[in-house]
Structure 1
């Protein structure tokens, strides 16, 4: 769920054509690799620690450290902290410290849903205020390293009410999805056996992400991509004229 902020680069003759092929692959890797680390490593670590004789709470605690370290390291390596990344670092660290102090395995599981709820609520508020936080995540996918598309994004975001509504819908879907995940995982943390909830929580999270991708794409990303594609030719023409 981390989402690095996209930065616009100044257009240079023939540069957009050269940059375009590698940019989507880079965006895909940046998006998928953190997800694999945050989902796969804690799950494997938990069962490996349990097999080694570690207690349930200790296994949960040690396996929960990995996503926090990965997020903090990602921010330190990029030397850039956007709003969503800062929020994720804060709630993960606070949630981990709180659950360690209490020492309850079920609270440790519920902590993950608490992270989702806080992030979801903040994302929803950002959409309602007209400053959608998820725009930083979807922008690299839509502009694909094309300077004209990136310029079109900036102009549409500043001038087009329809584009801003699509941005808000994209964030609103993700905010609602994360809040829904919070409810389901909290109920599961206190009603389902801990051993079952360790893997079931991962299934719920993956299902939430699939739902978020499908619905936010339909109501937000696809309309935005269409508007960017329509506006990009005029941006290229203006750049050529300059």
Structure 2
């Protein structure tokens, strides 16, 4: 009986790693998303809105991290860091639009141009078979746990419903970001400037919140359940093999 319990016990032990190890593993999984997307975006808003920098200066300084990460990937890993390159490209679009800015409505529409660029790139990444939003999705489904990560890899390799849900997550975010950009761009040229100054932030906040909730219910929760079921199936299979 003790022999039958061995594989299940090994997997259970691996799944129950120390809290410190789980946190470290989760941070390692989330680090690319934080460095490539969160830090540059937060830097832009902090520098422009918090410290009063010009749009050009804020965009230029917030491009340092993604530019460095993209260059590092090219030199060290011989490949393009997709998310860092995307944020860098979006910032370049913002810089180009800012050079044309003199019209306050164009300044309002500028952020829409950046968001639309990101949305389109996310959709293109799905068509290319490398969904960009997976860098944020995978850590939350696997929770930085090596057993859950291994289950994720097995399910993705099957190219079934699990892989379709992975792509769906990026599609939902790509459509949401592009749609939010379109709404704000229309508002920038049809509504009073003073109204759009505050309404633009509301539109962005509502869009992100709604997408988080909807994608969580339709994609993240089902994927978490599938991973748990896969781990259970793997344990049962190991036990059955030793029970023969």
TM-score w.r.t. structure 2 length?
A: 0.71
- How far off is 1:75 after superposition? 5.6
Q: Which runs of 4+ in 1 moved over 6 A?
A: 76-80, 236-241
Residue number in structure 2 paired with 1:216: 215
Within the candidate set 19, 22, 29, 1:20 is matched to 22
Correspondence 1:99 to 2:94: no
- How far off is 1:193 after superposition? 4.5
Residue number in structure 1 paired with 2:143: 144
**Where do 5+ consecutive residues of structure 2 fail to align?**
1-10
| 2: CA distance, partners of 1:64 / 1:239 | 54
| 2: CA distance, partners of 1:216 / 1:224 | 11
Aligned residues, how many?
A: 218
| Larger radius of gyration between Structure 1 and Structure 2 | 2
Classify 1:232/1:30 alpha carbon distance in 2 versus 1 (closer, same or farther; 3 Å): farther
TM-score w.r.t. structure 1 length?
A: 0.72
Preserved CA contact (<8 Å) 2:93 2:113: no
Residue number in structure 2 paired with 1:176: 175
Residue number in structure 2 paired with 1:43: 49
| 1: CA distance, partners of 2:110 / 2:169 | 25
- How far off is 1:179 after superposition? 1.1
Residue number in structure 1 paired with 2:118: 119
Deviations 1:157-198 (A, max 9, x none): 111411011112111110110111111111222234445534
The alignment's C-alpha RMSD in Å is 3.6
Residue number in structure 2 paired with 1:190: 189
